[in-house]
Amino acid sequence: MNLIERISRLISANINHLLDQAEDPELMVKQMIRDMEGSIVELRRETVRGVARVKQIEKQIATSGAQIEEYEKLAKTALKKGEDDQTREILSKKIHTVKVRETLDKELVNAREVADRLRSDLARLEDQVQSARRKKEELIRRKHLAEANLRSQEATRKSTEMIKTSTETASGGAAGESRIADYEDEITRIESIAEAEREMLQQDVQKELDLQKLSEDTAIEEELKRLKGEI
């Protein structure tokens, strides 16, 4: 797969869709970031070459234009001296140079299109990298939250098993029934604490996402205001 095909695939990639299909989304998004960063290096190199080619053709056009003007002057001077053969020779060089410049004009149009496309692809790929990085951070936060929930649930399970074992070995009668009721109350208390911890963690994550969204929206509005001011 050549560079252009690879870049097109990366730019058009639907990150969320790909992650939904992945067995390990965090691992996949990290690999995507590595692929994109490597492609950015190559694409930036190609963009520099494309822009350099435009500048090179522009210089060649300027040089040929100066040559055409010079041939025009030389032809007039030779003609005034009555040197028709020399005049024809100079005009032949001028016509050849005009054709060269016409070819260069066409090459310049193509070179500018290529350079513009490369610059556009580079900007879009850099945006994709930023999006992938944000997705990676989101996945890490979700993973940590899930791990915290699992630890809380595991602690609750162990406490429940301990209480169940104690209940099974306790003596019967009113004292036993009272003890069972106490154990049930303890289970309820532990489950409530675990549930409260999960809710607080979810709220903290949501607050962080809201703050990040607000920060991004503010930055976008500031950039929009700046661009309007410049326009």
Is the per-residue pLDDT at 18 higher than 60? no
Task: Pick the more confident residue, 95 or 152.
Answer: 95
Q: What is the pLDDT of residues 43-93, one digit of tens each?
A: 888 889 999 999 999 999 999 999 999 999 999 988 888 888 988 999 999
End-to-end CA distance of the chain: 41
Assign 151 a pLDDT band (cuts: 50, 70, 90): confident
Identity at 27, one-letter amino acid code: L
- The model's pTM is 0.52
Mean local confidence (pLDDT), 108-136: 86
pLDDT (0 to 100) of residue 82: 86
Question: Quick one: three-class SS letters along the chain?
Answer: CCHHHHHHHHHCCCHHHHHHHCCCHHHHHHHHHHHHHHHHHHHHHHHHHHHHHHHHHHHHHHHHHHHHHHHHHHHHHHHHCCCHHHHHHHHHHHHHHHHHHHHHHHHHHHHHHHHHHHHHHHHHHHHHHHHHHHHHHHHHHHHHHHHHHHHHHHHHHHHHHHHHHHHHHCCCHHHHHHHHHHHHHHHHHHHHHHHHHHHHHHHHHHHHHHHHHHHHHHHHHHHHHHHHHHC
pLDDT (0 to 100) of residue 105: 95
Tokens of 230: 């410049």
How far are the Cα atoms of 75, 96, 186 from residue 92, in angstroms, in the given order?
Answer: 10, 6, 104
Task: Tell me which of 29-33, 181-185, 206-210 is least confident.
Answer: 181-185
